[in-house]
Chain A
Amino acid sequence: MGEQEANVPLQPDADTGDQEEGFTIDPSQIEQGIKDQMKPEEIKNLDRVLDEGNKLLFGKDTHYQLMDGLKDSKDIPGDLGNGAFTLLMMLYKGGGYTMPPELMMPTGAILLSRACAFLSQSGMIPVTDDDYEESMHVYTVKLHSTLDPSFKQRMDQSLGQQQPQPQTGGILNQGAQP
């Protein structure tokens, strides 16, 4: 994949395991680690989604808007995580709502790692591994809290709060329920 090759990976700190300053995570390793868990057909679909994601992330029409938005950001991880969620929703809509749900997390994880690597390598915005972790957290929480009604139930249960009534659909899906 051309776009993938364009992102020259950084060397991970495999020796010490200590977290150095900067972004030490290798996006291609993330991608490979994820793809190792998938079937060939799923990988093919994932590559298609990633190609489209790259067009949004690094395309001439949207790239500079994205960079300008991040340049003035006071919350890089939050903006990255929220941006990844936005990006995924755009991809989902652009694909006619046919993207398999199992590709949503892998797509976000890989595209976020590519974005972090790009920001770090370009020197435009200092990004660290912790920023990636935080942005992944934001992305994951937003995705699951939006699409998975059981997420909030488990969260409430874990935090010892009052259990809401069991839902058969998500927040937005309630209207679709008979």
Chain B
Amino acid sequence: MPFPAIAAAIATAASSAMAAVGTVGLAGLAQGAMIVGTGMSVIGGITGNKTLTKIGMGIGLAGGVGALANGMRGASMMSTGGKGLLAADGIETALSAPTKGSGLKTFAPIDASRPLPVDAFNNSSAGLGFDGKFDPEFEKTYFQRANDTLTKYNTTLNIAGCMGQAYMQGEQMDLQKDLLDKRLDFEQQLVDRVATNNGTVLEGINPSISAANTGRNSTAYSGMLRGA
């Protein structure tokens, strides 16, 4: 697929995504971020892969759940063995307060034999030098990087930062094409009409009057017609 076609397809899909997500609610998107963030943090904690933990924390911030980190950590400390994530009072409070994260209630209970995601989140973040507390500096660093990313890739496809602009540009081009097509049709009709007029003999009419009033070429029709 050529690049403009891909861009148009993405623009259409993204605009539709905007509308759909807007109507469904952004809680789903935040829920997805929480799912991935927690999953990555857990795997990162289990395997000791700090890259995964870093990804998990970043996704959490992007999904708007980074601000819940303090609440999560508190809930983790409150929870006792085998108690699920949502069983902690702190989490319920944290989830009910912001508009985002309401969908988090759909989380499955966590197996008691495995480390809690929040514990994995804590352990991994501690390993990254966060010392068990949510670090606003990390948030700032993350968003600074996000800003740089948006700036860097904005020119590539004009999707991330100015999706609407790209979409509107496409719409305007379509509109201009429609107008141009209509104008061409109109001009073609005009040419056809003049050609038709010029091919019709106007008997009994002074050619000079005819030319002045109708715009037709009085000598345009063929000699055969003249002789007829």
Contact = CB atoms under 8 A, between A and B. Distances in A.
Partners in one complex: yes
Interface of A: 12-17, 19, 24-26, 29-30, 32-39, 42, 78, 82, 85-86, 89-90, 92-93, 97, 100-106, 109, 129-130, 132-133, 136-138, 140-148, 150-151, 154-155, 158-159, 169-176
Nearest to B50: A17
B201 interface: no
B94 interface: no
Nearest to A110: B36
Interface of B: 6, 9-10, 12-22, 24-26, 28-36, 38-40, 42-43, 46-52, 54-55, 58-59, 62-64, 100, 103, 106-108, 110, 117, 136, 139-140, 142-147, 149-150, 152-153, 156-157, 159-164, 167
A109 B40 CA distance: 9
Given A17-B50, A102-B32, A133-B54, A150 B43 contact: no
- Of residues B52, B63, B157, which shows the largest number of chain A Cβ atoms within 10 Å of its Cβ? B52
B49 A92 contact: no
Nearest to B108: A39
Contact of B163 (A38, A93, A146): A146
B150 A172 contact: no
Contacts, number: 222
A101 B29 contact: yes
A142 B10 CA distance: 12
Contacts of A147: 14, 17-18, 21, 26, 29
A101 B149 contact: no
Given A144-B63, A159-B147, A172 B14 contact: yes
Given A24-B49, A78-B153, A171-B162, A38 B29 contact: no
B107 to A, nearest CB: 6
